[in-house]
Amino acid sequence: MRARLVSADGGASYELTKDMTLFGRDEDSDVRLDNKSVSKLHCVIVMTDGVLLLRDLGSTNGTRVNGQRVRRAALLPNDVLAVANLKFKVLFGVELEKHDAEAAEAAKPKREAPAPIRRNALPDVYEEPKPKK
């Protein structure tokens, strides 16, 4: 299963590739969030049978899902996960595929309309001079 946390403020996005992903400020964390509001060992997300399960690890500033502080929660597509004051949108399954397709479409170069054809001010054919009498 593929899952991704997309930063709500334009920061880094994190692909969840492991069955268990540890978030925190500690260097040994799988996802290192270098922010003073994040605890050294803040929370963990476990992927199992197509479900994302979150558990707060007793963090000081808490973990929130859709604005609600939680100790444990099941994450659904498009949920907003707040690790301390860092917010992420949770994407997996169909929502992740839609997000990737939209990003690929936005990355395609836009074709500009061709410039309109302007008529040449000079004639294509010149009249033959009339013979002088």
Distance, in Å, from the CA atom of 40 to the CA atom of 55, rounded to the nearest integer, reads 15
In order of 47, 88, 91, the CA distances from 67 in angstroms are 22, 12, 17
Distance, in Å, from the CA atom of 38 to the CA atom of 108, rounded to the nearest integer, reads 37
In order of 3, 16, 103, 110, the CA distances from 13 in angstroms are 11, 10, 13, 25
Average pLDDT of the segment spanning 83-98: 83
What confidence tens digit (pLDDT) does each residue in 6-46 have? Answer: 898 888 889 888 999 999 999 999 999 999 999 999 999 99
Whether pTM > 0.85 for this model: the answer is no
Average pLDDT of the segment spanning 35-63: 94
| Confidence bin at 100 (pLDDT 50/70/90) | low
- Confidence check: pLDDT of 1 > 90: no
Closest CA relative to residue 54, chosen from 40, 68, 73: 73
Highest mean pLDDT among 3-7, 80-84, 119-123: 80-84
What is the per-residue pLDDT for 110?
Answer: 72
Encoded tokens for 131: 């013979």
Structural contact between residues 61 and 41, judged by C-beta atoms closer than 8 angstroms = no
